Amino acid sequence: MEDAAPQSSRMFWWSILAAFFLHVALCLLFARMTTERLPELPETSVPIELVAAPPQQSPAAPSEVSAPPEPKPVAPVSPAPQASLPQSEAAPMHHAEKLFSQQVLADPRSRKARESLRHLVSEERIIQLCNIEAMEQVHRSDPASRPETLVAYAMAEPRFSGVSLLVTGGAFRSRRRWYNIQYKCEVSANAADIVSFEFLAGDEIPLAEWEEHNLTVSDEPAD
């Protein structure tokens, strides 16, 4: 009977210790079961940032969207002869079966672009939204292409018809080279979503024509 008390005390403390470790194990198991893993975003050309159009003598919508580093605004030029455009007017555009602009804008890295779009007027918003879609469609159709900026007015001014935008003389830059692009983009009535998109990416624009159309090698400040 003399050993009963110490033995009872030891059993009590062992019970407390076992309960403590069981509690910790259950907490870790619960945390593991309830923690959700965020889905991985597909590789896209984001992050993107919107770039305001350069000042013009007559009102015009901004028509450039770019991925970082933030591009310097370039002055619009008068429509130039279309000799360098590889596509004929009869060449059919590719109809996009799937649209990606909302997915690109939903990426956390596109937060600034989303905020900027909210403050744009209708035509400005349409151009920026359609440029985002155009860049992503080019990348999805050719993963080796990494569009980093797109100028919708490079060779000719964009044309509006209600909520539809037609770009016949656009240019996008990928890996320090410029390429022609045409696209037709239709948006919803509130200019919040794209409902239809067609595009045709063209040939590389010769270096000799870059200066004429204010196309730069990069957006880094000149020395």
Q: pLDDT tens, 89-140?
A: 557 899 999 999 989 988 888 888 888 888 777 888 899 999 999 999 999 9
pLDDT tens digits along 39-55: 333 444 444 545 445 44
Alpha helices (runs of H) in 119-171, residue ranges in sequence order: 122-141
Quote the pLDDT of residue 223: 41
| pLDDT confidence bin for 27, thresholds 50/70/90 | low
* 65-89 tens-digit pLDDT: 655 444 444 444 444 333 344 444 5
CA–CA gap between residue 210 and residue 14 (Å, rounded) = 81
Q: What is the pLDDT of residue 111?
A: 83
Q: Nearest-CA neighbor of 214 among 78, 62, 54, 74?
A: 74
Q: Identify the pLDDT of residue 95.
A: 95
Residue 110's pLDDT is: 84
With cut-offs at 50, 70 and 90, classify the pLDDT of residue 180. very high
More confident call, 62 vs 177: 177
Q: What percent of the chain has pLDDT over 70?
A: 59
The C-alpha atoms of residue 97 and residue 115 are separated, in whole angstroms, by: 27
Are β-strands 94-95 and 49-51 bridged in parallel, bridged antiparallel, or unpaired?
unpaired
CA 149 – CA 49 distance, rounded (Å) = 9
CA separation for the pair 103, 132 (Å, rounded): 10
Mean pLDDT of the chain: 74
pLDDT at 73: 46
**Residue 8 confidence (pLDDT):** 66
53: left (phi over 0), alpha (psi -120 to 50) or beta: beta
How confident is the model at residue 65, as a pLDDT? 62
Of 148 and 220, the one with more pLDDT: 148
pLDDT score, position 43: 45
Selected residue with higher pLDDT from 157 and 66 = 157
Confidence of residue 26 (pLDDT cuts 50, 70, 90): low
Q: Where would I find the H helices in the chain?
A: 4-34, 101-106, 111-118, 122-141
